[in-house]
Amino acid sequence: MIPYDKRSGKIWYNDELVDWSDVKVHVLSHGLHYASCVFEGERVYDGSIFKLEEHTSRFFYSARRMGFEIPYSEAEINAASNSIIKNQKVENGYVRPVAWRGSEMMAISAQQTKIHVAIATWEWGSYFDPKLKVEGIKLNISNWRRPAPNTIPWDTKASGLYMICTLSKHEAEKNGYTDSLMLDHEGNIAEATGANIFFKDKNGELHTPVPDSFLDGITRRTVIEIAKSKNIKVNERKINPKELQDFVGCFLTGTAAEVTPVSCIADNEFKVCDLIIGLNESYQQLVRKKKAA
């Protein structure tokens, strides 16, 4: 795989198209030292960014929650996102908008820092091995928990929130798992390291945790809409880990993960059933639907 700092083409950087290798961030940037940085992850399908406007709105919301203003309008960021995928000729890939505080101040306080914005894009296939998307991935249960909602800006895509996700995923991979299930501060099921989670019960109903201390994903909401259109009942509620043994199916949802079945969580095994396969097929049909001319 080509390292991300060695790729070619252009990156939209502070309202300019800059050569990929020339985009620089100073080592004393506040965003690097104090995690004053927010980002989005978006998918390109057949040359079109799926739910671009929703992602951009969340991008701006995350910045406001982190106490800074993005120095462009949502319309300008949408236009820049569409422009860069065309410039890079990305047909099926990923888009990463990111905003961070600069290096004008180096301390906890950062009131006078400049806000930088960049948008990069590249061709990108499945987040997980395609074979695992058919057979189902394996999860362990992380020792790290999602923090209480009064301790962090939990409803944002802020970089600091992903520190324990990286720790959890590395530990899972070291022990032969693909990803890790994270519990919330109360010990209930929360999410995977970068995706929301759903369970299917013996009656064909879906159950998914209430997103009250972790991100309510755009893909999560989309899959709930698809499920309801199929008359599948969706229960959003607190889920105790003891209930894992009662479920027969499980899958993850996310911009990167899309709809990915889970074959086991620790010692609890699940089937890749027709309901999950059907939701994935419907999701793929939706995201690849060309916009009307």
By annotation, the residues acting in catalysis are 157
DSSP string, 187-242: SSEEEESSSEEEEE-TTS-EEEE--SSS---HHHHHHHHHHHHTT--EEEE---GG
Measured in whole angstroms, the distance separating CA 240 from the mean position of its chain's CA atoms is 23
Residues 6+ apart with CB under 8 A from 137: 128, 177, 178, 179, 252, 260, 261, 262, 263
Among 76, 61, 120, 74, smallest CA distance to 96 is for 120
Say if residues 253 and 261 touch (Cβ distance below 8 Å): no
Angle at 26 between CA 24 and CA 32, to 5 degrees: 110
Residues 6+ apart with CB under 8 A from 210: 236, 237, 238
Length of the chain: 293
| Pairing verdict, β 206-209 and 268-269 | unpaired
DSSP string, 2-34: --GGG--SEEEETTEEEEGGG----TT-HHHHH
Positive or negative: CA dihedral 289, 278, 263, 180? positive
Among 182, 169, 178, 192, smallest CA distance to 130 is for 178
